[in-house]
Amino acid sequence: MNTVASKAIEAKTKAVSGKGPTRELRRQGYVPAVIYGPESDSQAIAISAKDLGRALRAGHFYTTTQELSLDGKATKVLAKEIQRHPVTEEPLHVDFIKYNAKQIMHVNVMVRLVGEEVCPGIKLGGVLQLIETNIEVVCRADSIPEELVVDISELEIGDSVHLSSIKLPEGVKPAVTDRDLTIASIISTRTSNMATLDAEADAEAAGAVTAAAEVPASNQKEEEKKED
């Protein structure tokens, strides 16, 4: 279920536009932003860079309902996109969508892997390859999952886990339906290949010992007579 951020982000109405006023806003510690609403025109605002940084560090920024203290009035929004500086990666602009619990949303939800410490493929020297770090889902705004948990505890070398094997929360559907996305794989390496060969050799040796132990005593005596 969608959660609400514990602390509000300070915001104010942005009355002017243009490069000059925008640079001045940034010098004052604000980041330009806009709120889009299904039943209202877009609204240009500026949000506290400090509060935005705190919200980003808290994680799950796109799947958490953010509360803006807009000119002293509480306004719930969902983050849609952040434009960043190409070098410093500092936020330059943020797009928000006004929160509406019943609105159908397309949201990228973070993937979290569990079971790595007991994964047999990794234990044999295989390398975990995370292919999809986020999965786009379709759901109501009040049903956005915080994350998608993917269990890899039983993957062998060469195995993969696909989107179809993940149990999505009720009311949540994958946005991509024309193919089964591969989320993670365990790929082989030279070390893992050697470990597999060693394991197979040990198994063959153990099988040979077991077979020898199961030969009847009469058969052993006949073999001994033949040798004499």
- Sheet of strand 173-174, all strands in order from the earlier edge strand to the far edge: 148-151, 104-114, 134-140, 173-174
Domain 3-99, CATH class in plain words: mainly beta
**Where do the CATH 2.170.120.20 domains begin and end in the chain?**
106-191
Domain 106-191, CATH class in plain words: mainly beta
Higher pLDDT: 103 or 1? It is: 103
The tens digit of pLDDT for each residue in 113-168 reads 999 999 999 999 999 999 999 999 999 999 999 999 999 999 999 999 999 999 99
* pLDDT over 60 at 195, yes or no: no
pLDDT of residue 58: 93
- Sheet of strand 127-130, all strands in order from the earlier edge strand to the far edge: 127-130, 182-187, 160-162
**Where do the CATH 2.40.240.10 domains begin and end in the chain?**
3-99
List residues bridging with 140 in a β-sheet. 104
- Residues 69, 8: contact at Cβ < 8 Å? yes
| Mean pLDDT along residues 157-180 | 95
pLDDT of residue 189: 83
List residues bridging with 113 in a β-sheet. 150
* pLDDT over 90 at 82, yes or no: yes
* pLDDT over 70 at 12, yes or no: yes
pLDDT of residue 29: 95
